[in-house]
A and B are shown apart, each in its own frame.
Chain A
Amino acid sequence: MNPTLPLSLILAYVAVLAALGSAVGALATGRLPGAKGLMFLLLGASGAAAVAAGLTALASAPAGGELPLGLPWLPWHVRLDALAGFFLMVVGVVVLAVAVYGPGYVRDFEHGQDPLSVLGAFTGLFVAGMLLVVLADDAFLFMVAWELMSLSSYFLVVYQHEQAANRRAAFLYLLMAHIGALSILLGYGVLAAFGGGFAFEAMRGAALSPLWASVAFGLAFVGFGMKAGLVPMHAWLPEAHPAAPSHISALMSGVMLKVAVYGFIRFTFDLIGQIQWQWGVVVLIIGSISALMGVLYALMQHDLKRLLAYHSVENIGIIFIGLGLGLIFLATGHPVAGVLGLIAALYHTLNHALFKSLLFLGAGAILHATHERDLERMGGLLRRMPWTGFYFLIGCISISALPPFNGFVSEWLTFQTALQSWQLSGGVLRSLIPVAAAMLALTGALAAACFVKVYGVAFLGQARSRRVRRARPVTFGMRSAQGFLALLCLLAGIFPTSLLQWLNAVPEQLLGRGLSAATAHGWLWLTPVAPEMASYSAPIVLLALVLLWWLSALVLRRGRVRQVRRCDPWDCGFTDGLPTARMQYTATAFAQPIRRVFGLLFHVDEKVEREAGGMRHQLHVGDRAWELFYVPVAQRIQALSRRVTRLQRGNVRVYLGWSLGTLLVLLWLIS
């Protein structure tokens, strides 16, 4: 390392080392008294350093370097440009929040049978892996870091391994992560073959024929899409994410998926270079389908963490809609709209990291306080856990894309990109893009429905079980981590223009042009293309909302009757006996009309049995992707392996015979 190392890179190294240090520190927990605190302190330092590195990188020129590691003829290259800086920041923010949240949450595990040191060590490795993926500047380091990330997260998923479901989920995750990694490796292989080296610099210079470029793109899309959880490659996600401890779920959903998005952007926009519009169409269609299917399946869940995991599929879909639009516009020669699409996707990446982590931390707080993940047993938690309830509400509003919070801004930007489609010359594209936008609108509305369900059933109404009735507020650290993320959600919602100024560095370095018009009218106005086309002023909106609320409350409090009297619920006059908790609408009941309307897309297994004591109603809503994609593949593989098992006779001499035969063939081949 030379002495004139740029600041951003120093900070990034600090972040990686702190994460590794946290992993080492974790090994000492249980033996040394302060080790647990040190572990989370180092994790937090890693997060803070990553944020600082990211912000510095966004404001400065790209910085590169070599690590004294790796193979003798292939040292590891690192490079920190604006794109990497942005993703470092995203990772860092969530890691920071998780580090604050962690000490309170892991208290449950301290006296359990699984040692805390395992959890801490793999968390540290996981974070270090993610940071290194973002920093990598050659395919070798990238894949090593990618594997570090995948493997350590596998151990985190399988951490609570007493339950068979967790083991099964973790295995599925491991399997799919590796199929994806293989696909990415092949993609890099194509680029390396044309570019003559594994360094990204060489790949950028590679002159690919359109066919090979498409092959590389296809491999990368499958690989990164599998990790990101695009439909139909999402099957592992709703299984694996809920299985991990909640703060790890927040990291996986909030950040790890983003690392896959980073990989896709790096591969497609940066390394391949010559974009073809057909790729954009594929990405757009898959993204729209993911968004819609994700939210529909989320609506059908009543396990809170599983529901949130399905929402990750939805949001990744929205990010890929933005990326697909960007690809289409860039390839057809409309750079302004293309950059807008990329920016919208990046903005949503940040937003999703913020609100999804917030929601997972909230779900963790509920789990910690009530040991309950099933929505049908919750209710009335807002009164037991007011702060968690308040922050969770902010998360719900943000993810439902409602103004003036952050989710709305990025969806608005995506809509604005889609509306630039009048510039396109092809009529089919021009009609396809608004249809995708309509699917995005449907997704947004369904997400709102889903979070009304979640919040209404979990936090409002009356408690449906005893454990929930006895819930206690969580520790200050856990609450403040949620508060931190909630505050960031609000800030990212009302100061989009200032944030865009930072984000602009990414397309400027990547594509050579930014979105100058968007920020041209001061921090108050967000004008993506031109002020007469569309404008949005989030600060004024928030101010007006608060002002109107305050004014109407002020006027009404001066009315003739000021007091509010508490009474029994009216409930259309059902007065004999107050309404009990069992009379409330359940999560399943809430989603029933939607299940009926979109029934075709689900695998609904509904049974009504008459028993001696009354009726029994069973309902199971399954994922169609299983029967359509996974089960046939699994059956094929099983049939194939059955054929292979014919080799297995159980006789040692037969095996030796096979070895002999193989040896002979090989010798013949090399001769």
Chain B
Amino acid sequence: MNLVQLSLLEQAVFVLAALILFLSFTLLAQSRLVSGIHVFAWQGAVLAGATALVAASGAHHLFISAGLTLLLKALLIPWMLHRQVRKLELERHVETLPHAALVLMGGAALVIFSYWVVVPIERLELLATRNIISLSLAVVLLGLLIMVTRRQAVTQVIGFMSMENGLFLAAVAATHGMPLVVELGVAFDVLVAAVLFGVFFLHISESIDSLDTDRLNRLAVPEDEP
């Protein structure tokens, strides 16, 4: 039992990592668009908290990334998404997830799977927070699962962003963060992606009058289509 040997601060990191996983599951089951954005914002905030705790336990340079994460993922991007949603008049949009229980069970299976995948790797690691890697992988896979199961473009983007959260968690937990330059670059990338997605939303909804990505599966529009 290695949890007992950890300091209280590291235990708290574990708790927050587990919370991030839980929030991913909540995202997976969430049918309301606006609530989904809120959950995503919370995930960003918890991620920032976890980063700050890791920073407090020694890696002080991570405070900057923690602040950056809080600013970007908990405040700025959710706000932008929210604005988009308001602009497209999707506030009351509810996307019912078919077979919700099944998808959730699939998610749980993904967690077990990612643990199984990571076990051989983590033996090599010596960091106390190594088990978090399997959680991060699970968050990444769950993000992908969200994108697979959802049809709504905005939800897919949220899934994509939460994948990025998982990667960031892995980076923070496993190597105490990437070099600041890389991190700034990634943060900038995510921001740009968010802006670009916003532009895409507008175009998609203008051209097909919906954000249902299932309607994008025709490769060419026949002439006689109204």
> Once bound together, how far apart are the Cα atoms of A435 and B115, in whole Å?
16
CB pair A600–B112 under 8 Å, yes or no, is: no
Q: For A427, what are the chain B residues with a Cβ–Cβ distance below 8 Å?
A: 115-116, 119
> For window 88-109 of chain B, which residues contact chain A by CB distance below 8 Å?
99, 101-102, 108
Q: How far is the CA of A432 from the CA of B109 in the complex (A)?
A: 9
Q: Which residues of B contact A1 (CB under 8 A)?
A: none
Shortest C-beta distance, B109 to chain A (Å), equals 9
- A431 and B115: CB pair below 8 A? yes
Q: Could you write out 7 A-B pairs with CB less than 8 Å apart?
A: A427-B115, A427-B116, A427-B119, A431-B112, A432-B112, A600-B99, A600-B102
Instruction: Name which residue of chain B comes closest to A599, CB basis.
Output: B99
Query: In angstroms, how far is the closest chain A Cβ from the Cβ of B114?
Result: 11
* Complex-state Cα separation, A414 to B99, whole angstroms: 30
A428 within 8 A of B: yes
Interface residues on B, range: under 10
- Which residues of chain B (105-161) have a CB below 8 Å from chain A? 108, 112, 115-116, 119
A433-444 vs B, CB cutoff 8 Å, 1 = contact: the mask equals: 001000000000
A428 surroundings in chain B (CB, below 8 A): 112, 115-116
Contact partners of B101 in chain A: CB under 8 A: 600
- Residues in B with CB closer than 8 Å to A431 are 112, 115
> What residues of chain B lie closer than 8 Å to A435, measured between beta carbons?
108
CB distance from B218 to the nearest CB of A (A): 30
- Count residues of A near B (Cβ-Cβ below 8 Å): 6
- For residue A603, give the distance in angstroms from its CB to the closest CB of chain B: 15
Instruction: Give the interface of B toward A (CB within 8 A).
Output: 99, 101-102, 108, 112, 115-116, 119
Complex Cα spacing A432 to B119, Å? 16
Q: Complex formed: what's the CA distance from A495 to B75 in Å?
A: 63
Q: Which of A25-76 contact B (CB under 8 A)?
A: none
Distance (Å) between the CB of A666 and the closest chain B CB?
54
With both beta carbons as reference points, the residue of chain A lying nearest to B115 in the complex is identified as A427
Provide the bound-state CA to CA distance between A435 and B119, in Å. 20
Residues of chain A within 8 A of B115, CB atoms compared: 427-428, 431
In the A-B complex, the 6 residue pairs with the smallest Cβ-Cβ separation, listed nearest first, are: A428-B116, A431-B112, A427-B115, A600-B99, A428-B112, A427-B119
Overall SS of chain A's interface: helix
Residues of A within 8 A of B116 (CB): 427-428
Chain A 192-244 residues near chain B, CB threshold 8 A: none
Give A600's nearest chain B residue, CB to CB: B99
| Per-position binary interface string of chain A over residues 598-612, scored 1 when its CB falls under 8 Å from any chain B CB and 0 otherwise | 001000000000000
Chain A residues near B102: list those with CB within 8 A. 600
**Cα distance, A286 to B101, chains bound together (Å):** 20
Bound Cα distance from A515 to B112, whole angstroms: 32
Nearest-CB distance from B92 to chain A (Å)?
Answer: 25
Q: Which residue of B lies closest to A428 (CB)?
A: B116
Q: Distance (Å) between the CB of A443 and the closest chain B CB?
A: 16
Q: What's the Cα separation between A600 and B101 when bound, in Å?
A: 10
CA distance A428 to B99 in the complex (A): 25
CB distance from B135 to the nearest CB of A (A): 13
Question: Which residues of A sit under 8 angstroms from B119, Cβ to Cβ?
Answer: 427
Chain B: minimal CB distance from A356 (Å):
30
Chain A 412-441 residues near chain B, CB threshold 8 A: 427-428, 431-432, 435
Kindly state the separation between the CA atoms of A38 and B101 in the bound complex, as whole angstroms: 58
On chain B, the residues within 8 Å of A432 by CB distance are: 112
Name the distance in Å between B4's Cβ and chain A's nearest Cβ. Answer: 15
A432 to B116, CA, bound (A): 12
A427 to B134, CA, bound (A): 12
Instruction: State the CA gap A435–B112 with chains docked (Å).
Output: 11
A311 CA to B154 CA, complexed, in Å: 46
Q: Hey, which chain A residues are within 8 Å of B99, CB to CB? A: 600
Within the complex, what minimum Cβ distance (angstroms) separates B224 from chain A?
A: 37
Residue of A nearest to B105 (CB): A435
Which residue on chain A has the smallest CB distance to residue B108?
A435
Determine the residue in chain A with the shortest Cβ distance to B134. A427
Q: Which residue of B lies closest to A597 (CB)?
A: B101
The chain A residue sitting closest to B118, CB to CB, is A427
Q: 10 extra interchain contacts, Cβ-Cβ under 8 A, other than A427-B116, A428-B115, A431-B115?
A: A427-B115, A427-B119, A428-B112, A428-B116, A431-B112, A432-B112, A435-B108, A600-B99, A600-B101, A600-B102
Chain B: which residue is nearest A432 at the CB level? B112
Distance in angstroms from A429 CB to nearest chain B CB is 10
CA distance A432 to B111 in the complex (A): 12
Chain A residues 132-181 with CB under 8 Å of chain B are: none
Among B101, B102, B108, B112, the most chain A Cβ lie within 10 Å of the Cβ of B112
Chain A minimum-CB-distance residue to B98: A600
How far is A600 from B105 in the complex, measured between Cα atoms in Å? 14
CA–CA, A427 to B118, complex, Å? 11
Complex CA distance for A427 and B102, rounded to whole angstroms = 23
Question: Given the complex, which residues of A lie within 8 Å of B108, measured CB to CB?
Answer: 435
How far apart sit A435 and B108, CA to CA, in the bound complex (Å)? 10
What's the Cα separation between A435 and B102 when bound, in Å? 14
Q: Shortest Cβ distance from B1 into chain A, in angstroms?
A: 10
Q: Roughly how many angstroms separate A510 CA and B102 CA in the complex, as a whole number? A: 41
Residue of A nearest to B101 (CB): A600
Q: Within 8 Å CB of A600, what residues of B? A: 99, 101-102
**CA gap between A600 and B104 in the complex, in Å:** 14
Q: What distance in Å separates the Cβ of A284 from its nearest Cβ neighbour in chain B?
A: 14
The docked-state distance in angstroms from the alpha carbon of A600 to that of B99 is 8
CB distance from B175 to the nearest CB of A (A): 23
Q: B109: nearest residue on chain A (CB-CB)?
A: A435
B112: A residues at CB distance < 8 A: 428, 431-432
Q: Name the residue of chain B whose CB is nearest to the CB of A598.
A: B101
Interface residue ranges of A490-538 to B (CB < 8 Å): none
- Distance of B157 from chain A, by nearest CB (Å): 29
Measured between alpha carbons, how far is A268 from B108 in the docked complex, in Å?
32
Q: Nearest Cβ distance between residue B115 and chain A, in whole angstroms?
A: 6
State in angstroms the CA–CA spacing of A135 and B115 once bound together: 47
Question: Separation in Å of the B2 CB from the closest CB of chain A?
Answer: 13
CB distance from A433 to the nearest CB of B (A): 12
A431–B115 Cα distance when bound, in Å, is 10
Q: In the assembled complex, how far is the CB of residue A522 from the closest CB belonging to chain B, in whole angstroms?
A: 33
Q: A69-103: which have CB < 8 Å to B?
A: none
Q: How far is the CA of A559 from the CA of B81 in the complex (A)?
A: 67
- How far apart are A380's CB and chain B's nearest CB, in angstroms? 37
Q: How far is the CA of A559 from the CA of B112 in the complex (A)?
A: 59
CA gap between A431 and B99 in the complex, in Å: 23
Could you tell me the distance between the alpha carbons of A428 and B119 in the complex, rounded to whole angstroms? Answer: 10
- A202: shortest Cβ distance to chain B, in Å? 40
A623 to chain B, nearest CB (A): 19
Taking the closest CB of chain A, its distance from the CB of B194, in whole angstroms, is 35
- Distance (whole angstroms) from the CB of B96 to the closest CB of chain A: 14
A456 CB, nearest partner CB in chain B, Å: 27
A526 to chain B, nearest CB (A): 28
Would you give the shortest CB distance from A663 to chain B, in whole angstroms?
58
